[in-house]
Amino acid sequence: MQHNCSAFLERNADVPEVQSALKSVKSLTKSKDIFLKRLSFEAEPADFAKFLSAGKFNKPQSKEEQHGG
Amino acid sequence: MEDEALSRMSLTEVSGAIAKRKVSSLEVVQNSIAQLEKHGSSLNCLARLFTVNVLEDAKKADQELASGNSRGKLHGVPLIHKDMFYRAGQITACGSKICENYFPETTATVLLNLEHEGALDLGRLNMVEFAYGLTGHNEITGDVRNPWNPEYIPGGSSSGPAAAVASFLSYGSLGSDTGGSIRFPASCCGLVGMKPTYGRVSRFGAMPLSFSLDHIGPLTRSVEDCALLTEIISGSDPNDSTSVSRPKGDYLKELEAGIRGLKIGVPTTYASGDSGFLAPVHPEVMREMEKSLAVFQDAGAEIVPLALPDSFKICNDLANIIAGSESSSAHANWLKQRAQDYGSQTRERLLTGFLVSAVDYLEALKLRKEILAEFLADVFTLVDVLHAPVVPIPVPTLVESNIQNNPGFIEYLSLLGHCTRPFDYLGLPALSLPAGLTDNGMPSGFQLVAPPFEESVLFRAGHAYERETTWSFPEIIFQ
C-alpha cells in the first residue's frame, strides 16, 4: 500500500498538495537525523511504553531524606 | 424550557443538585437540549443530539433516585462529547463526509466509564475533520466559532467541545489530544483541559488518528470538574493494550492540599544556551505567562528558571513524523478510494505520511524513550511541574488563519503546536489553564506539565491558581 501510494505521489509531484507534503517531510526527517547517534543498536519502540509504565520517576532523595531527616 | 442559572452551574454543582433532588435529571436534560438547539447553530458546535434516548434515560435516572438508588458521582447529568467517541448504533461522523453514515458496533470505554457513574449521553459536537488540525477549520461541516468572539477560531481539533463548554451549552465534554487538540482549544476558549499521561485513559472506541500519540481527556470550566471527569475516565482497559494498570488517582481528595513550596520550572533556555523554546512566543502571550507565574509565586510556589535538554527541540518534528505515518496508515484505503471526499487541508496532511520511510518512522518511535529519560532527568529532578504557554500567538481570526484565503499564515500554522505537541510525543500529563486576555480581547492559556502519572499535582496546582484568580466567561450566548 505504502509503495503504491508513494508511486502515485511521485507521478503527481507537480500537484501543489504533493509538493507541499514533500517539503514538509524533508524538513521533518532532517532534524531527526542529527539525534540518531543517541540510539543503541538494540533500541525498540516498545521500550517507551515499558519505561513509561515502570513509574520510577521519583526525584533523587535529598541528603536529609537519605539519612532519615 | 430555558434556565440560565441551571446552565451556568458547574458540573460538580449540577450533579450535587440532582443528587439532593433540588432539580430533576429530566429538567437538566430538557434545559440542555433547549440551549443546544437554540444556540448550537450560531457557534456551529452541535453535530447531533440523542434526544429520544436521553429523555428516556433522564426519566429512568429520576425514578432510580426517587427509589434511593444513585449510580454514582454523575447520576442523571447530561454530557455531550466530540464527534469521535463511538456509541453502538449511533452515528459517529468524526467531522467528515466519509463517516457521515458510520454506525459503530461498539461503545467507547470512556463513555462506559461515565455511564457507570450515572452520566447520560446527550449527543455529539463538531470537530476538525478526523481531528487533524489545531485551528478549528472544517471544510466539510463548517468552522466552529469561538464564543468569546465568533470571528475568531475556537481552536481544534476539539473545537465543538471547547465552544459548547465555554458558552454553557455543556457542563463538560470529552476531547482528544494528539498534538494539542484538548489544550489548544481549551486555551482559545478560556477553559481547563487535561491531556493525561499516555496509557492513563483507554482509547478503545475512540476514532484513532495516531495510536502512539492519541490521548483522551476532558474540557471543563473549572479544575474541580476536570479532576472529577479525569478520575472517572481513567484506568486500565483490556480492550486497549496501551492502557496502564495502575491505581486510579484520587484527584478530588488532593485538590485542596495547596502549593506552598511547589517548584514550578520555567524553560528559559536549552542546555546549549539557545533560548529557542520560548523565542517564537508572542510578547502579549509572554506578558500573560509572567502574570500567571506571579500568581503562583504569591500562592507560595517557587519559580525555578531551567534549561530544557537540547533533544527536546526535535520532539515536534518527531511527533509529526509519527502522526503522519500512523494517520496515513489509518486512512490508506479511504485515501485510495474516496480522496475527493476529504477537505483539501486534511488530504494534504494525510499525504505527508506516505512520504515518510518506515526507517524514519521507527527511528522517531525509538527516540521517544531516550528523549523522555533525558527530559525527566534534566527537568523533573529539579522541579515538580513545568510551566509553558499553550498557544504561542494571540488567538487569530477564522479568516486570517485559513490558509486557503491567506497562504501567508502557513508559516504560523507549523508554529501552532510548538508548545503542545512535544508533550504528546513524551506522553507526559499536561493541564491547560486560562491566563489573561491578549490585546484582541481573546483568552490566552498556559499549561503545567508533570512527570508520568502525576496528574494529581497538576490538579492541585491548577486549583490553587484558580482560587487566586477571577475568570469570567463571555455573555454572548445569553445576551
Which is higher by pLDDT, B479 or B152? B152
Q: List beta partners, residue B448.
A: B387, B431
Mean pLDDT of B376-393: 97
pLDDT at A58: 56
B242-251, B288-297, B419-428: least confidently modelled range:
B242-251
Q: State the burial class of residue B440 (Cβ atoms within 10 Å of its Cβ: 0-12, 13-18, 19+).
A: middle
A24-38, B312-326, B408-422: least confidently modelled range:
A24-38
Whether the pLDDT of residue A68 is over 60: the answer is: no
- Whether residue A24 lies inside any domain: the answer is yes
Largest CA distance in chain A: 70
pLDDT at B473: 77
Closest CA to B473 of B221, B125, B173: B221
pLDDT at B53: 96
Mean pLDDT of A14-39: 76
- Whether residue A69 lies inside any domain: the answer is no
What would the pLDDT profile of B172-216 be if each residue is shown by its tens digit? 999 999 999 999 999 999 999 999 999 999 999 999 999 999 999
Distance from CA of A43 to the nearest CA of B (A): 6
Whether the pLDDT of residue A3 is over 50: the answer is: no
* pLDDT level of residue A64 (50, 70, 90 thresholds): very low
* pLDDT level of residue A5 (50, 70, 90 thresholds): low
> B254 CB contacts (<8 Å, ≥6 apart)?
B456, B459, B460
What one-letter code names the amino acid at B114?
L
Distance from CA of A69 to the nearest CA of B (A): 18
pLDDT at A37: 74
ipTM score assigned to the predicted complex: 0.85
Q: Is the peptide bond before A31 cis (omega within 30 degrees of 0)?
A: no
pLDDT at B211: 97
Q: List beta partners, residue B220.
A: B192
Q: Domains along chain B?
A: 262-448 (3.90.1300.10)
Mean pLDDT of B214-240: 97
Q: How many CB atoms lie within 10 A of CB A10?
A: 11
What would the pLDDT profile of B93-145 be if each residue is shown by its tens digit? 999 999 999 999 999 999 999 999 999 999 999 999 999 999 999 999 999 99
| Euclidean distance between CA atoms B129 and B127, whole angstroms | 6
Which is higher by pLDDT, B220 or A23? B220
- Whether residue A18 lies inside any domain: the answer is yes
Show the cell assigned to B113.
Answer: 466509564
- Whether residue A63 lies inside any domain: the answer is no
What values do phi and psi take at B202, rounded to 5? -65, 140
Structural domain including A26 reads 2-54
Whether the pLDDT of residue B274 is over 50: the answer is: yes
A39 vs B contacts (CB less than 8 Å)? 363, 366-367, 370
* DSSP-derived 3-state class of residue B421: helix
What chain A residue is nearest to B311 in terms of C-alpha separation? Answer: A35
What chain A residue is nearest to B376 in terms of C-alpha separation? Answer: A57
CB-nearest to A17 from B199, B348, B376 is B348
Total domain count, chain A: 1
- Whether residue A64 lies inside any domain: the answer is no
- Whether residue A30 lies inside any domain: the answer is yes
- Whether residue A67 lies inside any domain: the answer is no
Mean pLDDT of B372-377: 96
Whether the pLDDT of residue B264 is over 60: the answer is: yes
pLDDT at B270: 85
Whether the pLDDT of residue B44 is over 60: the answer is: yes
pLDDT at A10: 66
Whether the pLDDT of residue A2 is over 60: the answer is: no
Q: What is the pTM of this model?
A: 0.94
Closest CA to B438 of B280, B287, B279: B287
CB-nearest to A52 from B198, B314, B352 is B198
What values do phi and psi take at A44, rounded to 5? -125, 145
